[in-house]
Amino acid sequence: MNLILFEPAETSVPLPRTDARAMHILKVLRRHVGDTFDCGLVNGPRGKATLAAVSPEALTLRFAWDATPPPAPAPITLLLGLPRPQTARDILRDATSLGVAALHFVTTEKGDPNYALSSLWSSGEWRRHLVIGAEQAFDTHLPAVTHGRPFEEIVATLPPASTRLVLDNYESPTALSAFHLMSEKAVVAFGPERGWSAAERDLFRASGFQFVHLGSRVLRAETATIAAVTLIRAKLGLL
């Protein structure tokens, strides 16, 4: 944890010793009473926390917040055919570290419907991976996330006035690295394991998407996500 995040309601009550953050403060950061560490409010300011007291049951913390808010997330929205749960965990964490604004994990014609039933989504575990990604990046912002909604439904709600790109190794005439972004917002779509259907490709075209690729090498979904977001961040002047 480069930054330890807290929900607003947690800042007014002791932190239980059983909480992973408490163990990190004491065992990894090796903080003692009177010491400080970097902290943040989820979707709020960063600041410093002081370890005010330690008891067998909990840590008492005092918080001081910075006046300057963290930079806003990059105006990048990702649309992803639902991947395997472990792949989704990696994407949730790493896309958050890279600072995207939104992640939509959608059901598709060729996708495995069982992926939407994973406990990753039903238990709320997915949000923990956003927090891990934000803490790694020394940020407080968590992207907006949806999961399990139909592909067509999400396409209809995407941000207007954005450059819309779909990664497709089969029907893409242009490399993403050579593509010129026409706006300061970007939507990037990544297919499921079996790729996009013909009907989905037609909907992309009708919805103003441009087909691009990441080169001749076939990448894992989590690797393609990192590569594409990094390229777009560079094109937006965010690196």
Among the residues of 32-105, which ranges form H helices?
A: 85-98
Burial 212-225 (b: 16+ CB within 10 A, else e): bbbeeeeeebbebb
Residue 209, classed as helix, strand or coil, is coil
pLDDT at 230: 97
In the structure, what pLDDT confidence band is assigned to residue 31 with cuts at 50, 70 and 90? very high
pLDDT for 24: 97
* CA–CA gap between residue 69 and residue 46 (Å, rounded): 7
* Residue 175: per-residue pLDDT: 94
The answer to whether domain 76-235 has CATH 3.40.1280.10 is yes
Q: Which fold has domain 4-65?
A: Ribosomal Protein L25; Chain P (2.40.240)
Residue-level pLDDT at 83: 96
Q: Once rounded to an integer, what is the mean pLDDT over residues 38-50?
A: 97
- State pLDDT tens for residues 151-206: 899 998 988 889 999 998 888 889 999 998 988 999 999 999 899 999 999 999 99
Q: Provide the pLDDT for residue 160.
A: 83
pTM of the model: 0.94
Mean pLDDT, rounded, of the chain: 95
CA angle 21, 147, 126 (to 5 degrees): 15
Contact 145, 102 (CB under 8 A): yes
Provide the sign of the torsion angle of the four alpha carbons 141, 193, 157, 122, taken in this order: negative
pLDDT at 29: 96
Indicate if 76-235 has the same CATH topology as 4-65. Answer: no
**What is the domain partition of the chain in residue ranges?**
4-65, 76-235
Mean pLDDT of 83-90: 97
User: Cβ contacts of residue 234 below 8 Å, gap of 6+?
Assistant: none
Check if the beta carbon of residue 3 is closer than 8 Å to that of residue 46: yes
pLDDT at 170: 82
Of the chain, the end-to-end C-alpha distance in Å amounts to: 22
What's the confidence (pLDDT) of residue 167? Answer: 94
Region 111-129: mean pLDDT is 96
Residues 232 and 184: their CA atoms lie apart, in Å, by: 10
